[in-house]
Structure 1
Amino acid sequence: MRADCARCFGLCCVALTFSVSADFAADKDAGEPCHHLRTDFRCGIHHDLRPQGFRGCTVYDCFGAGQKVSQVTFGGQDWRRWPENAERMFAVLPIMRQLHELLWYLNDALTRPAAATLHGEVRTALEETRRLTLTGADDLLGLDVAAHRGTVNGLLLRTSELVRARVKGRKKNRRGADLFGAKLSGADLRGADLRGAYLIAADLRGADLRLADLIGADCRDTDLRGADLSGSIFLTQAQVNAAKGDSATALPPSLDRPGHW
């Protein structure tokens, strides 16, 4: 579930749309290669993305979907030498990314002893999702991925409830809450429901987020310096990449500390 850019054909640098903003220094239409993409599918400014205005590239994470589409779905045939594949390849990427994101969450659920009673159902959902990732391009393009996400999400919700129940007392329910710029430094958010919460530029320095459900939370510029996310539920690398942290920020072992922290 980790991106391996060396085995990908620079799909995120071509398939996605960029708009001039604080995250991107240039406009780019979907299907148009970024002008920094080299002929070997590597980024020409990889080590200087942030200084040159491409912070969004350092935040994005495909959960390993890029190499799956490149090497499995299209059998190693890149969009430059086989341009007839380009349109379908670029259309498949966001679908595959959603499936791989679900694989990430399902694998997380299997690490939670408190949800052991659901692990059989989780494994079944995991295998079905994995099977879908191995189908052909046409099958993927015809997949009702929203319906599949809905089914899996119900299982993830039940998992979250069991895991968060380990925290004694009343848990904060801030699901989908607008916490833009909120002052939550040092807050006790153990077991909190922060699903889909807008944590943009929120001050969470030193906050305790163990066993908090962060699935879908918007963590752009969230200040996580000194915060404890070591047991947070369904936290992703993209969320961590989008936030601000430091050496004192505690992360789950499955996630990497971003180089720009």
Structure 2
Amino acid sequence: MPVFALPFPVIDPVALQLGPLSIKWYGLAYVVGLLGGWWYARKLAAAEALWGGRRRPEVDSLDDFLLFAALGVVIGGRLGFVLFYNLGEYLANPLEIFAVWKGGMSFHGGLVGAAAGLWVFAIRRGYPPLSALDLGAAVAPIGLFLGRIANFVNGELWGRPAPDVPWAIVFPHGGPVPRHPSQLYEAFSEGLLLLVLLMIVVRVGGLKRPGLVAGLFGIGYGIARTTCEFFREPDPQLGFLFGTSWLTMGMVLSAPLFLAGLVLVLRRKEPAEA
């Protein structure tokens, strides 16, 4: 028998029921995350002193900024899940690729999609792409935080067995074994902590160096996600990779993100180059 175990705080995954229409916490997290990011992006874009005179997305263009980011998140997130997490199943049933209401999104795919969307947005509007990416990176942890909280509410993506951890939780679909609440670990590290760190970087002049905030986001997320993967149960259809007892797809996909972030930080422009 486990020494420690907390009961799962059962919360209805449906946040709001309007007749036949049900709004789930996970979908609500996406919407609120995007809107919260849009609101914070407007505050940053309007603060001239944070940019040091550099050209950046204007406040009245941020509706399009939100649209391109949202499309990128949804399309990239779905394609990333199909390609990296369940390719065999979707090749056998290709129409299921479009059944997004059944769930199945990849953060790394969504990130690539959002970055591509913001790059297109910047080119179409005549803004420096790196400044658009910096703005998106500064606000992205808001959505990450809410998304991981929604994962916890849904009782999904739970952690590895942790019978001796006082805060371990028995998840309703995770068997009788107490597990790490890894969703909360990710909400704190990838979301709240990264948001605060990037806020500090922005306040000390990070947006004056195009690519710096986006690069630090890539580095920070890569480190946080890889660390949390040691506490998170690997995806059941994949398990541990390459015959190891520790390597997961989340770690593999975080490595190029970390490296891309490192390249951006090392190649950032100094304020004098504006």
- Scaled by the length of structure 1, what TM-score is found? 0.30
Relative to total residues, which structure has the larger strand share, 1 or 2? 2
Q: Which has the higher helix share?
A: 2
